[in-house]
Chains A and B, each alone.
Chain A
Amino acid sequence: MSEYKKVACHFCHMNCGMVAQVEDGVITKVTGDPEHPFNQGAQCPRGASALDHLNHPNRINFPLKRVGNRGAGQFERVSWEEALGDITAKLVELKDTYGAETLSSLGGTNRTDDFARRRFFNLFGSPNVAHTAPVCWIPNFLVEAASYGWAAFDPEIMNTRCVVIWGHNPATSYLPEMRGLLQAKENGAKIIVIDPIFSETAAKADLWLPVRPGSDNALALAWLNVIITEGLYDYEFVEEWTVGFEELSERVESYTPEWAEEKTGVSAELIAQAARMYAAAKPACIQWGVATDQFGRGSSAGAQARAALRIITGNLDVPGGDVMPGPHPEFITDWEMELNELLPESQRQKQLGADKFKLNTWPGYQLLTDNMVRVWGKSIPAEWFCEANAPMLFRAMITSQPYPVKACIVLANNPLVSYANSRLVYQALKSLDLLVVMDYWMTPSALLADYVLPAASWLERPVMTTTYGVSDWLIASERAIEPMFERKTDVDFWRELGLRLGQAEYWPWENDEEIFQYRLAPIGLETDSYEEFVQCYRMAFAPREYRKYQERGVATPSGKVELKSSILEQLGYDPLPHYVEPPFGSEARPEQAKAYPLTLVAGGGFMPFFHSEHREVTRIRLLRPYPRVAINPELAKKMSIHSNEWVWIETPTGRVKQQAFVTSAVAPDVIQAERGWWFPEKPTVDPELMGVFESNINVCLDDDPDTCDEACGSWCTRAVMCRIRKVGEGD
């Protein structure tokens, strides 16, 4: 007999709803759930290949323990009992020798329930958890939170007149979002896309602003200038609900469209026209995006300018505008699950990077939390929003400065591919005394591990979607089957490790479902089990309210929307939007410009892959078999490079090769390299590590903390000086 289980896809953040057909404990088909609000029955190619992923012969199915040298690719199967026992013993030993902060963790995006990780870490006593958070939305979110107490990340594009897509390409990343965008367009909304690349999304836009890579900040400042000088802002809202408008006006006075034309390469006229289009549309919104978090220095300055745009145009929390959800009032959020209060102040201070990058570490997080709790009753999770700075963490692993970091638990992450400066990351991982990797696959990073643990994927685990714990809604999905072989969920892992380390009283639940059921209880639906909730309700959306600031106030120190941020000021940063030259551009490094005449854009998601994933799913891989670097035909001609020829991409930090993709989607002096590349089919031994240094563009990127964003420590993946040349015989 067939059963139908309501599951959720974990192949990207969208968490599309799926229906799994299960026959005698075996999944026979996975299709989109027509009742799910996001995907409405559809699947992207990854989702449509769910079973290829589940049943792939190369999935890790049992715990493995390293027996040969690190990286030699020799492991032996051990029981979970033995693996966890060994890991526990080693952690106790290291903690005794170096202190709890010697344990770190690296995470990936959204295959996991990271409240469990943080709960474990807080109980263990280490503040050193990191994700790629600084280059993935967190600076934008935190700057917004500093300005108006939460991020306005839920734009109501269905009811809007104008959508600004800034450094975001949903047409190749989040397809349900793209569908919404095109519907908004049909409803009459104008679509403005800001991107140096003629992206799939730009191709559908009403207006595309082809900015020079890294110059987005200048554009945002010029928009502020136009909107303020031409009086296009919302007087009433600015008057009544904001502080710092005077200072802002003064600040942006010099950032004229003409000034920005020089920086962005977009004509002053077009800049002004776009600013007017955006400001005149009521309501309008700016969608979330992460490219603007990836400029290194100046990332959060740019976020400040965009936050100011949302504010002065009066689009904040209005219907059809930039709606600011706030936490869900009832269910227990990630933040409430984390037990941050149990991490002593002395340990908080040790968080790597907290003295330099203060907004997304304990100093800033504490300020934000105090304000949020005052207004919303809850804060944002420490996972993602309050983390050790990864570049500093890797350096500490290598140099033991400021203190030794000797252990790392990597979960759902392939740090060799996903962080900048891959060779440094490699050195860092090899310096550890204990490296544990829990993953679906034997990744290059897993090859270096002491223990490789088998992770359950989304068909084998329940999923509760809450957008990293900051949405005011949740969507609950169940498991289709129990984990195959000896795979486990991350919740199982942290819990079992916690039990062995004396955390028993904090882990009263047996499994994911029990935790989720506990978290749902305050909603008061009186379901007997988590599965029942999934089958009967599945979702809980807080009633939509607008202009919540009117009743609740604003979660900032002044209680107003702050155009001049007192939290940033208190942390020692410039409280107003300002221009910062891109750290690896010719403006900042004129002496290098000659040797490296091109500009590298080393990012951008592309179908059918998600970050560094899915290279081993054959059907998916065949759609995009080899890494591609986009090169303008003019440049290609000049360098006699033809499509599909291998090309070296060189920066002062390193070089990798990708296949030329000759396309006029990039400007003649810009190239865009694909990210996330490694080759699971290549030899599995160190130092080849499945070609992890061959085409992985992170090899070419520097993560020197001095080039990182001042407030959030974001490293730069965009606008990096580079050069290319054809790969010759034998090189």
Chain B
Amino acid sequence: MRWGMLIDLKKCVGCHACTVACQNENHLPLAMKYCKVYKVGPEGEYPNLTSYNIPIACMHCQEAPCVEGCPSGASHHREDGTVSINPKKCVGCRFCLLVCPYGVRHMNKETGAVEKCTLCVERLETGEVTRCTETCQLKARHVGDLDDPDSELVRIIHKENARPLYEHLGTKPSIYYIMP
């Protein structure tokens, strides 16, 4: 079992609904975003242009620098493959913020612990989709089990040749993107 997600950049319009819905779901401080969305481009010269949007949150790396680097064991892999942080163990050394190549971790000043996207595991466990998937008007997101070759998720990943972001870093992310 390994939870994973697929984000279809052909569909995403960069509306930030996922950003906001996630903030509400997780009761985040106003300025803290587990999921950011960047607009790429337009690249080229008017009128020969291309542009797309890309949401970025924790990639739930299998070879996670944050987990490897965490001295206290607060950052860890769950059995379902997601990377999780135990706030009771976090000492606040911020080493994980330094080593995460995707820049998706945040120090929550209120709790003194580091936080990031949880892939809504509590929701996944009750059969719901993640909040960002639910709220996406464009249906650009899919969640599922990457270990199950018959899952809808794996099927689309193969069909669309979806790839993780910055594979060359070798972190083996569990988030895949359909490139535009």
Contacts and interface: CB of A to CB of B under 8 A. Distances in A.
Interface of A: 31-32, 39-45, 47-49, 51, 171-172, 175-176, 178-179, 182, 198, 200, 203-204, 208, 210, 607-608, 618-620, 622-623, 632, 663-668
Interface stretch (B46-54, B80-88, B105-113): B46-54
Most buried by A among B24, B31, B47, B50: B47
A210 B137 contact: no
B135 A663 contact: no
B137 A665 contact: no
B16 A623 contact: yes
A608 B47 contact: no
A667 B47 CA distance: 7
Contact of A619 (B15, B23, B135): B23
9 contacts: A31-B134, A31-B135, A32-B135, A42-B17, A45-B16, A45-B17, A45-B19, A175-B15, A608-B16
Given A198-B46, A203-B52, A663-B42, A175 B30 contact: no
Nearest to B22: A48
Given A172-B15, A203-B52, A178 B138 contact: yes
Given A41-B134, A45-B16, A175-B138, 8 more contacts: A43-B17, A44-B15, A44-B137, A182-B11, A200-B53, A607-B13, A665-B42, A665-B46
Contact of B135 (A48, A179, A200): A48
Contact of A43 (B30, B44, B47, B137): B137
Given A172-B15, A198-B49, A203-B52, A622 B44 contact: no
A178 B24 contact: no
Nearest to A624: B16
Interface string B91-115: 0000000000000000000000000
Contact of A203 (B50, B136, B137, B138): B50
Given A42-B136, A182-B11, A622-B31, A210 B17 contact: no
Interface in B135-157: 135-139
A619 B11 CA distance: 24
B16 A42 contact: no
A43 B135 contact: yes
B89 interface: no
A692 to B, nearest CB: 25
Contacts of A623: 16, 19-20
A198 B42 contact: yes
B167 interface: no
Most buried by B among A32, A39, A42: A42
A45 B15 contact: yes
A622 B31 CA distance: 8
Nearest to B37: A623
Contacts of B134: 31-32, 41-42
Interface string B30-67: 11000000000011111101111100000000000000
A274 to B, nearest CB: 13
Contact of B49 (A32, A49, A204, A664): A664
B10 interface: yes
A711 to B, nearest CB: 32
A48 B20 contact: yes
A41 B47 CA distance: 36
B21 interface: yes
B73 interface: no
A728 to B, nearest CB: 28
A437 B11 CA distance: 40
A518 B42 CA distance: 52
A442 B15 CA distance: 27
A348 to B, nearest CB: 42
Nearest to B31: A622
Given A620-B20, A623-B19, A179 B10 contact: no
B23 A664 contact: no
A161 to B, nearest CB: 20
Contacts of A39: 137
Contacts of A43: 17, 21, 135, 137
Contacts of B136: 42
Contacts, number: 107
A44 B132 CA distance: 11
Contacts of A667: 46-47
A15 B92 CA distance: 44
Contact of B10 (A176, A182, A608, A620): A182
Given A182-B10, A618-B30, A666 B46 contact: yes
Nearest to B13: A171
A622 B19 CA distance: 11
A203 B139 contact: no
A442 to B, nearest CB: 22
Most buried by A among B13, B16, B51, B137: B137
Contact of B15 (A182, A204, A607, A668): A607
Contacts of B52: 203
Nearest to A663: B42
A608 B15 contact: yes
B46 A172 contact: no
A7 to B, nearest CB: 16
A665 B48 CA distance: 10
Contact of A175 (B24, B42, B46, B137): B137
B47 A208 contact: yes
B51 A665 contact: yes
B52 to A, nearest CB: 7
A43 B138 CA distance: 10
A210 B19 contact: no
A666 B122 CA distance: 44
Interface string B2-30: 00000000110111110111011000001
A590 B48 CA distance: 30
A663 B135 CA distance: 29
Contacts of A40: 139
B44 to A, nearest CB: 7
A75 B135 CA distance: 40
Contacts of A618: 30
B42 A48 contact: no
Q: When A and B form their complex, which 8 residue pairs have the shortest distance between CB atoms, in order from nearest?
A: A175-B137, A210-B47, A171-B13, A42-B137, A48-B21, A45-B20, A203-B51, A45-B17
Contacts of A668: 46
Contacts of A204: 10, 13
A47 B17 CA distance: 8
Contact of B24 (A49, A182, A608): A49
A510 B123 CA distance: 43
A483 B107 CA distance: 39
B46 A632 contact: yes
B134 to A, nearest CB: 6
Contacts of A172: 13, 15
